[in-house]
């Protein structure tokens, strides 16, 4: 079986996924993921033995580019849209600062 | 006692006036009050709303209005599906207390057809699991033995229908989440053709795999519900713009004489519980006696379905769940010891606090599979295996009309039994996953109790895309040949 993922490896993935995992969570995932990755890595061998020209399939629906007519239709009201917000102010979503994150 | 009636029979009694919808709905609410403390099938019960719908249906019927077949028949809805004005949690703390501002299309269709919505059912968080143990609100339990799992992720819907809390329920199926809990609780569950039922307003787990479908105590009941919710929806770009297959007519027919049924060679042997295998073999023999032509077929790529699924699904999960960012709705948690956190820090702290272990595991797995340097080897290869699986289906359906297999390799396990081994849990989905990867429809029908565990076993039919009617025809025939086990009372 593959060796465990290091705490740093998992922390990097967690930062890409925007989740502040605890050290205990990082270590547990680092220990669990190799068994799962070993299992799923079988797809590479399957594709190799199938030979060339297997097209990737992203979606089972035989549909492409579905458009509706470009006509206005009712959407959510401002009150409805804001009703579930963690915080709002002056009819807008109130969010934490998004600039100067390194400061 | 109306709570034990099939939906079709209750609908007939409502139509002939021998019972009112208010009476039937109140009976279900009383049943929920009596047994749900043991089952935890419901996360939210809307007695007021359900009774108001029921009273409206009764008044319209009394006024002589012609109503849809299922008008007045109560239903439970998986808590992954948006209900305007009623909480929708997805089984997650990150959506605790959230009330959607709009209905899912399927919920709108239930309302239009006059079905009182009893409440929202328990599920694995964001539908990620095969046991319901990953719900942030505690596991739902199997009414056949409350020390056991009801299956998942639509475990609450399955337990509710099996325990007579509701005659009908909606579930969702991404890798078997309707069919497997159906099998574990001895009820009927259908995953329609991908695109057959709208996903608009259904919280997305893996968009290329998710489908909404019916759960019921008979094949005909499932077909009646299928007909209510299926059909083109311009708000779902993957919705099929074609007539809904004649599922109700097929469920009434139920004739397998001359039907070619393929038994999948790969879905047997190691890992399959002997008691499940024996019930399955008996079901095959009865189908043959009834005139079906039984053909052994080989679908070698199916055995790689789990590997492909556990790359495709987490990849889509990692992308879909990025929307839970603590900005516009849902939970917001500030990191400790930081008086002026950035949006990104709040996002990361919220996702740590609000998401459960299995959801985090899948997001991290998907992030890994999609990261630069691994994308081709993992996600790219999985997409090609998906093609191979679809080709196996095409080859099989050139020889036979439907495929038949056990729905799950085992009967319901004890709570906690597989909690420490995620891979062991994933392997339980071996028989159901290929249908999601290829987009074809599947049904699970009860085929008795396993002689080694005393618990329900399901048989699964699979059909080509948009041939959902074949499932209902074969399923109804099987139901007549092998009567469903009847739960006398919840086993505590």
Domain boundaries, chain B: 2-255, 321-381
Could you give the dihedral angle defined by the CA atoms of residues B354, B433, B195 and B362, in that order, rounded to the nearest 10 degrees? 20
- Contact (CB, 8 A) for A36 and B366: no
Minimal Cα–Cα distance from A34 to chain B, Å? 10
Query: Can B177 be counted among the known catalytic residues?
Result: yes
**Per-residue model confidence (pLDDT) at position A61:** 81
Residues 55-94 on A with a CB inside 8 Å of B are 55-61, 63, 66, 68, 76, 80-81, 83-87, 93
Closest C-alpha among B30, B121, B120, B110 to residue B72: B110
Is there a contact between A20 and B351 if contact means CB atoms under 8 Å apart?
Answer: yes
Nearest CA in chain B to A66: B237
B422 CB near a chain A CB, below 8 Å? yes
- In chain B, residues with a C-beta closer than 8 Å to the C-beta of A76 are 101-102
Q: What is the mean pLDDT of residues B158-172?
A: 98
B194 CB near a chain A CB, below 8 Å? yes
- In chain A, residues with a C-beta closer than 8 Å to the C-beta of B317 are none
For B225-277, write each residue's pLDDT tens digit: 999 999 999 999 999 999 999 999 999 999 999 999 999 999 998 899 999 99
Is there a contact between B328 and A93 if contact means CB atoms under 8 Å apart?
Answer: yes
Query: Can B298 be counted among the known catalytic residues?
Result: no
pTM for the predicted model, two decimal places? 0.97
- Contact (CB, 8 A) for B107 and B86: no
Mutation target for A interface from B87, B384, B434: give the one with most A CBs within 10 A.
Answer: B384
B228 CB-side CA count, 13 A = 29
For B414-462, write each residue's pLDDT tens digit: 999 998 888 888 888 999 999 999 999 999 999 999 999 999 999 999 9
**B2-255 placed in CATH 3.90.1300.10:** yes
DSSP reduced 3-state for B169:
strand
**Per-residue model confidence (pLDDT) at position B105:** 98
Question: Phi and psi dihedrals of B4, rounded to 5?
Answer: -90, -5
Q: What distance lies between CA B242 and its chain's CA centroid?
A: 23
Is there a contact between A46 and B352 if contact means CB atoms under 8 Å apart?
Answer: no
* ipTM confidence: 0.94
Minimal Cα–Cα distance from B28 to chain A, Å? 31
- Contact (CB, 8 A) for B409 and B431: yes
Res A101 pLDDT > 70: no
Query: What average pLDDT does chain B have?
Result: 97
DSSP reduced 3-state for B399:
helix
Res A1 pLDDT > 80: no
Closest C-alpha among B443, B5, B388, B484 to residue B191: B443
CA distances from A43 to A37, B274, B307, B428 (A): 10, 29, 6, 19
Could you give the dihedral angle defined by the CA atoms of residues A24, A30, A31 and A36, in that order, rounded to the nearest 10 degrees? 130
Please tell me the class of the A7-50 domain: mainly alpha
Residue with tokens 């056949």: B144
For A21-30, write each residue's pLDDT tens digit: 999 999 999 9
Residue A103 banded pLDDT, cuts 50, 70, 90 = very low
Closest C-alpha among B379, B361, B359, B362 to residue B370: B379
Cα gap B331→B349, rounded to integer Å:
10
């Amino acid at each position: 079986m593959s060796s465990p993922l290091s705490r740093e490896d998992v922390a990097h993935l967690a930062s890409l996924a925007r989740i502040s995992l605890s050290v205990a969570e990082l270590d547990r995932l680092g220990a669990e993921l190799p068994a799962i990755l070993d299992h799923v890595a079988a797809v590479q061998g399957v594709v190799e033995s199938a030979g060339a020209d297997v097209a990737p399939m992203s979606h089972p629906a035989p549909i492409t580019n579905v458009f509706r007519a470009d006509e206005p239709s009712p959407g959510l009201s401002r009150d409805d849209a804001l009703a579930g917000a963690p915080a709002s102010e002056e009819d807008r979503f109130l969010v934490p600062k998004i600039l100067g994150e390194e400061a | 006692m109306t709570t034990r009636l099939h939906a079709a029979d209750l609908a007939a009694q409502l139509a002939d006036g021998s019972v009112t919808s208010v009476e039937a709905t109140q009976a279900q609410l009383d049943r929920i009050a009596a047994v749900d403390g043991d089952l935890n099938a419901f996360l939210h019960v809307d007695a007021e709303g359900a009774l108001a719908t029921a009273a409206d249906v009764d008044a319209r019927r009394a006024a002589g209005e012609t109503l849809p077949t299922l008008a007045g028949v109560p239903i439970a809805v998986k808590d992954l599906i948006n209900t305007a004005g009623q909480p929708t949690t997805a089984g997650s703390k990150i959506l605790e207390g959230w009330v959607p501002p709009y209905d899912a299309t399927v919920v709108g269709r239930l309302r239009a057809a006059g079905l009182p919505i009893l409440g929202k059912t328990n599920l694995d968080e964001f539908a990620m699991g095969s046991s319901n143990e990953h719900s942030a609100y505690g596991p739902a339990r199997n009414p056949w033995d409350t020390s056991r799992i009801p299956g998942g992720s639509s475990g609450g819907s399955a337990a509710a229908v099996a325990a007579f809390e509701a005659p009908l329920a909606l579930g969702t199926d991404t890798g078997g989440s309707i069919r497997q809990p159906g099998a574990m609780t001895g009820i009927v569950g259908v995953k329609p053709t991908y695109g057959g039922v709208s996903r608009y307003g259904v919280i997305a787990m893996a968009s290329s795999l998710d489908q909404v479908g019916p759960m019921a105590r008979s094949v005909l009941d499932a077909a009646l519900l299928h007909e209510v919710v299926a059909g083109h929806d311009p708000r779902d770009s993957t919705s099929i713009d074609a007539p809904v297959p004649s599922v109700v007519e097929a469920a009434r027919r139920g004739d397998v004489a001359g039907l070619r049924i393929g038994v999948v060679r790969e879905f047997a042997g190691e890992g399959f519980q002997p008691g499940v295998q024996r019930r399955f073999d008996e079901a095959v023999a009865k189908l043959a006696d009834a005139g079906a032509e039984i053909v052994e077929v080989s679908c070698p790529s199916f055995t790689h379905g789990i590997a492909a699924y556990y790359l495709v699904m987490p990849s889509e999960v990692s992308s879909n769940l990025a929307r839970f960012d603590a900005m516009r709705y849902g939970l917001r948690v500030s990191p400790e010891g930081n008086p002026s956190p950035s949006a990104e820090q709040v996002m990361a702290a919220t996702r740590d606090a609000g998401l459960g272990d299995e959801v985090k595991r899948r997001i991290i797995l998907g992030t890994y599979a999609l990261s630069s340097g691994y994308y081709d080897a993992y996600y790219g290869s999985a997409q090609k295996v998906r093609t191979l699986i679809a080709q196996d289906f095409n080859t099989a359906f050139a020889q036979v009309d439907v495929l038949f297999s056990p729905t799950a390799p085992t009967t319901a396990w004890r709570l906690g039994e597989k909690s420490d081994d995620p891979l062991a849990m994933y392997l339980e989905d071996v028989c159901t996953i290929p249908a999601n990867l290829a987009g074809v429809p599947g049904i699970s029908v009860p085929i008795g109790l396993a002689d080694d565990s005393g618990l329900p076993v399901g048989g699964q039919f699979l059909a080509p895309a948009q041939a959902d009617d074949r499932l209902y025809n074969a399923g109804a025939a099987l139901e007549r040949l092998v009567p469903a086990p009847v739960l006398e009372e919840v086993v505590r």
